[in-house]
Amino acid sequence: MDDLSHLQHRLERILSAKNNGSELRRTLTGANPADLAVVLVRMRPEERLALFRQLPASEAAALLQTLPDHAVADIVAGLPIDLAADLLEKMPGDDQADILARLTQSKEEEILRAMSPEDAAEVERLLSFPPDSAGGLMVTEFLAYPEDWTVDDVIEDLRSHADEYARYEVQYVYTIDPDGRLVGVLRLRDLLMAPRGTQIAALAIRPPLAVPTSATIQQLRQTFQQRPLFGLPVVDEQGRLLGVVRRTDVEQAASEETGRTFLRLVGILTGEELRTDPLNKRLLGRSVWLVTNLTLDLLAASVIAMYQDVLTAVISLAVFLPIISDMGGNAGMQSVAVTVRELAMGLIRTGDARFVIMRELPLGVAAGAVLAFFGAGVAYIWTGELGVGFVFATALLLNTIWSVLVGATLPLFLSRVGLDPALVSGPVLTTLTDIFGFFVALELARQVFVASA
């Protein structure tokens, strides 16, 4: 905290002094990147504007890129159009597209108009692909040469465009035919080790492994896991080279997707709330989810309302009903989480319900038995009534089995019908487990206490 507030105050002082570019840059360079990200995301918009005005665009862009995309989009949306366009142009093409895709249509168009026509055209092409596909993830900066070039031709080209290529992060050089179709690939080190005068066609691996623009993160990840490659060329339907998707971008996208899934599963609808986001945006996202849950809870609780006679007869059941509800949710969410993760890893498919049930059933029976044994003991000691212990234990056992089976298969079903399992599983699960658990407990109690009375 001390370092943080120190950095914050220093920046505030420098920014209020104006025209203090060199001290500002010294402070930024010297600061811990983690602290800088925190200070940046918590700054007031006018301070941030002052900061970006005093920094070279490339440094401001590098600073922004330490923040999550949606926070960058919020910041960029608040900047003057020209400054926003300048900053974006200093970022890699795929990041430009990610950020623009999060702005309003009109803002996006304004910024594109303020960018250089080539950059704008490039980004618009990237924007035409889904963000989590090879097309959306690829960078369009790559090196491709005709097959009949020699090693010397290529080195000469590299030398004469050194400044431009500096931001390309070149790993591979591609060979293409006159129509731009990908023919081969060679590594930089192959160029280095080859005798001068060699034609690059003789060094290239052909045909190279390439992916279509539609390849998913999961497919890309698995390909990279099997092969020690830094990037994969992306081609269109005619085999023309469009860009390169880098391993590191795929890993980052996968990491962000896992984070979003995790937040959605517990009710952050967009999957990306930060506390520095605007209050109304945060409130809307959370409330929609909470009201949905409340509605479903009321639906489930109506089962209890139908058994008021049983409750009046065995008032101690009121103590155990919230526990049955909570434990059903807990056991079910464990299973939901494992299924959601296995789906994301590609280790199960939506048609694998039978496999999942076979693996989950013994677990549900065993875990349910453990809970029933423990719960029956406590309930009996507490209430002194064997009947309550029996009802509570049986409800825990059956509801645990039901919950793990529903939890394990629900995400498969939701995926199949095109709903996001992370978002929908939780509320549907708890409703189904509440209704089942309340019904089992109250109906059993009626048999044991009311019917026999």
Q: Which of residues 239-298 bind a second copy (CB under 8 A)?
A: 247-248, 251-252, 254-255, 258-259, 261-263, 265-268, 273-276, 279, 282-283, 286-287, 289-291, 293-294, 297-298
Question: C-alpha angle 250/169/29, rounded to 5°?
Answer: 95
Q: How far is the CB of 18 from a second copy (least distance, A)?
A: 25
CB nearer to a second copy: give 201 or 357: 357
* Among the residue ranges 44-52, 127-135, 175-183, 303-311, the one whose residues contact a second copy (CB under 8 A): 303-311
- Compute the distance between CA of residue 161 and CA of residue 145 in angstroms, rounded to an integer: 14
- Compute the distance between CA of residue 143 and CA of residue 165 in angstroms, rounded to an integer: 9
Q: How far is the CB of 262 from a second copy (least distance, A)?
A: 4
Question: Which x/- pattern, by CB under 8 A, does the window 368-407 give for a second copy?
Answer: --xx--xx--x---x-------------x---x-------
Q: How far is the CB of 179 from a second copy (least distance, A)?
A: 28
CB nearer to a second copy: give 12 or 177: 12
Q: Which of residues 332-351 bind a second copy (CB under 8 A)?
A: 333-334, 336-338, 341-342, 345-349, 351
* Among the residue ranges 32-40, 100-108, 125-133, 233-241, the one whose residues contact a second copy (CB under 8 A): 32-40
Q: How far is the CB of 272 from a second copy (least distance, A)?
A: 9
Count of CB atoms situated within 10 Å of the CB of 333: 20
Please pick, from the candidates 311, 390, 413, 449, the single residue that binds a second copy as defined by CB under 8 A.
Answer: 311
Edge-first strand listing for the sheet containing 231-235: 211-212, 231-235, 241-246
CB nearer to a second copy: give 68 or 180: 68
Count of CB atoms situated within 10 Å of the CB of 177: 14
Q: How many residues bind a second copy (CB under 8 A)?
A: 124
Task: Retrieve residue 154's tokens.
Answer: 């290529």
- Compute the distance between CA of residue 277 and CA of residue 72 in angstroms, rounded to an integer: 11
**Alpha-carbon distances of 261 from 109, 165, 342, 389, rounded to whole Å:** 30, 36, 12, 39
DSSP codes of every residue in 240-273: BEEEEEEHHHHHHHHHHHHHHHHHHHTT-TTS--
| By the rule CB under 8 A, 144 interacts with a second copy | no
* Among the residue ranges 7-15, 102-110, 118-126, 324-332, the one whose residues contact a second copy (CB under 8 A): 324-332
Q: Please answer whether residues 271 and 199 qualify as being in contact, where contact means their C-beta atoms are separated by less than 8 angstroms.
A: no
Where do the DSSP E strands lie in 270-423?
none
| By the rule CB under 8 A, 6 interacts with a second copy | no
Q: Which of residues 38-57 bind a second copy (CB under 8 A)?
A: 38, 41-42
Q: How far is the CB of 316 from a second copy (least distance, A)?
A: 7
* Among the residue ranges 15-23, 48-56, 96-104, 223-231, the one whose residues contact a second copy (CB under 8 A): 223-231
Q: Give the list of residues 6+ apart from residue 356 with CB closer than 8 angstroms, or none.
A: 339, 348, 408, 409, 412
Q: Which of residues 69-128 bind a second copy (CB under 8 A)?
A: none
Q: Please answer whether residues 367 and 396 qualify as being in contact, where contact means their C-beta atoms are separated by less than 8 angstroms.
A: no
Q: How far is the CB of 128 from a second copy (least distance, A)?
A: 25
| By the rule CB under 8 A, 1 interacts with a second copy | yes
Tokens 């986001």 -> residue: 277
Task: Retrieve residue 178's tokens.
Answer: 């006159």
CB nearer to a second copy: give 104 or 275: 275
Q: Which of residues 423-452 bind a second copy (CB under 8 A)?
A: 430, 434, 438
| By the rule CB under 8 A, 414 interacts with a second copy | no
* Among the residue ranges 43-51, 128-136, 169-177, 233-241, the one whose residues contact a second copy (CB under 8 A): 169-177
* Among the residue ranges 128-136, 177-185, 190-198, 232-240, the one whose residues contact a second copy (CB under 8 A): 190-198
CB nearer to a second copy: give 20 or 65: 65
Cβ-in-10-Å burial (0-12, 13-18, 19+) of 238 comes to exposed
Please pick, from the candidates 16, 116, 128, 308, the single residue that binds a second copy as defined by CB under 8 A.
Answer: 308
- HEC secondary structure over 387-441: HHHHHHHHHHHHHHHHHHHHHHHHHHHHHHCCCCHHHHHHHHHHHHHHHHHHHHH
Q: How far is the CB of 354 from a second copy (least distance, A)?
A: 10
Quick one: how far is CA 366 from the chain centroid?
34
Q: Among candidates 362, 372, 388, which has minimal Cα distance to 310?
A: 388
Amino acid at 290: L
